[in-house]
Chain A
Amino acid sequence: MRPLARAWLALVLAFLYVPVAVMVAMGLNASPLYALPLHFSLHWFAALAGDDAILLATRNSLLVALVTCVVATAIGTLAAVALARPDLRGRGVLQALLLPPIGIPWLISGTAMLVFFSWTGIGRGLHSMMLGHVALATPYVVLVVGPGLKALPPNLEDAAKSLGATPADAFRSVTLPLLLPSVVAAALFAFAVSLDQFVISYFLATPGVTTLPVLIYGAIRSGFTPEINAVSTALLAASVVLLLGFARLAGVGGFLGRR
C-alpha cells in the first residue's frame, strides 16, 4: 500500500507544480513561441525593466501591499489582544464578524465595494484598493496573532504590573517581544494576500491605475506576451518567499492545521 500511496502523492504534487514550472520555464526561455528545447535567457526579465506600464503596476502593487501589511498588522494585532481578554463580552459575535471578509466570494465583496465606494464618492483607485485589501487581510492577522497570544504563559502581564509596569509598558516590554514571531508571520501573510489579490483590485482599478495581477489579467485577455510570464514568475517567487517565511514563523500550516 505504501508505495502506491507515495506514488499518488507524487502525482498530486506533479499536478500542482508542473504547470507552474512550465510557466517559469517559459519566462526564462529565449524563444517567444514556447519553442523547445529551452534556451535559458533573462531576456524577458530584462524587457520588463523597459516597460513603463509593468513598472508602474509593480510599484502600485508593492505600495498597496506595504500599506495593507502595516495597517492590517497593526489594527489586527490590537483586535487580537482585545479578543484574548478573558472578561470580553460578545466575543462570539466579534469573532464571527471576522469571517465574512474571508468567506464571502471575492466577486461579491469586490462588486459591493465598487458599488459602495462609487456611490459614496470614495471612488476607485489605489486608496480604495488599500481600503479593501486591509479589510481582507485584517481577519487573517487576527487569526494568526490570536493563537500566538493564547500560547503565551499565563500571568506575564500581571507579573509585570505587580513590578510597577503600566499596562502599556507591560504590553510593550513583555507581551510584544514574545508575540513578535506571530506578528511578523501575520505581516508577511498580509503582504502576500495583498500582493496576490486580483478580484477586488480588478473592480477597484481605473484605466490608469492598476496592480500587477490586474495588468496580467488584461494582458492574458488581449493576447499575452512572454513578458507576462516573466512578471508572473516574479510575482510567484515573491509570494513563495513571503509564505515560506510565514510558514517558518507560524509553524507548518500554523493557524489552520496544527494539531
Chain B
Amino acid sequence: MPAERHAAGPRPRRTGTAATAALLAPTYLWLAVAVFLPLAGMLYFSLLTGVPAPHHPAAFTAENYLAFVRKPYLLHVAWRSLALGLWTTGLCALIGWPAALALSRAVRGRARDAIFLLTILPFWTSGLVRVLSWTMVLADHGLLDRALGAVIPGWRVSDLLYTFPAIVIGLVHAYLPYMILTCYVSLAAIDPALIEAARGLGARAPVIFARILLPISLPGLLSGAVLIFVPVIGSFMEPRILGGRVGVTMGTVIEDQFTQAFDWPLGAALSFTMLAAVLLLFGVLYGASRLRPAA
C-alpha cells in the first residue's frame, strides 16, 4: 500500500506552547509581583544603610547582618524563639502522634472521618481568634482558674497569662492539627495485617512501637515538625498577645523594625537571617532523610 510522497522536509512544531504559557502567565506573574519581587526587594533593602529617600541616598552595607554581633541581646531573643520552637514542636509531637495513632486504630468508618475533620478544621480558622480565646481561659481569675476552683476551692494557677508557658500553650493549640494530620497520613498507610503479624510472632507493644509504628510514621513526624517549627520561629502575634512583656521573640523584634522603629534594612536582614536558618534546617533534615536507606 505504499502511497506516493506528496510532502517532504521538516515542518515547524505546532504545539500548544503559546496557549500553555498564556494559561500559566497570570498566576506566575502575580506571584512574581506579590511574592518573589518583594522578597528580592527586601534582600536589596537588607544591604542598605537606611531607607532611601530623595535627599538621603542610602549606601550599601553588610552591617545589618552583623546585628547579632553588635546587639548581643538579640542572641537572647533568638534563643527564646528557638526554645519556643522546640517546646511547641516537641509538645505537638507528644500530643499529636498518639492522637493520630488513636484516630487510625481505635476509631472506624464515619466516626473516623468526622473526628479527622474536627481535628484539622481549627487550623483553617483564624489563628488570631483562637489566641484571643486563650486570653480568656488563662487570665488571672479567668476560666481555667474558675474551673480549677470549682474542683478544689481556692486552687488556681495564678498569673499564667503573659508567661512563656502561655505562649507555648497558644502555639501548641495553633499548630497541633498539623502534627495530627501528617502523622495520621503516614500511620493510616500501615497495613493492620503487619501489626497482627508482629503480634502473632510474639512482639509486645513496646517492640511494635519501636520497630514498626515509629519508623513508618517518622516521615510524617518530621514533616509535621518542619511545618510547625518554621511558622513558630516566625510567630509574632501569639507572643505579643499571650506573652505580654516576656513575649519578645525574633518575630516581634522583626515586626518592631517595620511598625515601630522603622529600621527596614535591619528588619529585612533579620528576616533573611531567620529564613536562612530555616532553610538550613530544611536542608539538614532533607539530607538526613536521604541518608536513611530507602524507607
Contact = CB atoms under 8 A, between A and B. Distances in A.
A135 B33 CA distance: 9
Nearest to B141: A34
A115 B132 contact: no
Given A134-B34, A198-B126, A75 B137 contact: no
A19 B134 contact: yes
B35 A253 contact: no
A199 B38 CA distance: 16
A108 interface: yes
Contacts of A83: 24
Interface string B160-180: 000000000000010011001
B129 A235 contact: yes
A40 interface: no
Interface residue SS majority, chain B: helix
B9 interface: no
A198 B237 contact: yes
Given A1-B106, A79-B26, A79-B28, A34 B136 contact: yes
Contact of B128 (A100, A189, A217): A217
Interface string B121-142: 1101111111011111100001
A244 to B, nearest CB: 8
Interface stretch (A3-11, A45-53, A175-183): A3-11
A256 B271 CA distance: 28
Nearest to B125: A239
A108 B234 contact: yes
B99 interface: yes
A8 B101 CA distance: 10
Interface in B167-225: 173, 176-177, 180-181, 184-185, 188-189, 205
13 contacts: A2-B106, A5-B102, A6-B107, A9-B102, A17-B122, A88-B20, A107-B255, A107-B271, A115-B268, A117-B38, A203-B258, A244-B121, A259-B188
Interface of A: 1-2, 5-6, 8-9, 12-13, 15-20, 22-23, 26, 34, 36, 74-76, 78-79, 81-83, 85, 87-88, 94, 97-98, 100-101, 103-109, 111-117, 119-120, 131-132, 134-135, 138-139, 142, 167, 189, 192-193, 195-196, 198-199, 202-203, 213, 216-217, 220-221, 224, 228-229, 232, 235-236, 239-240, 243-244, 247, 252-253, 256-257, 259
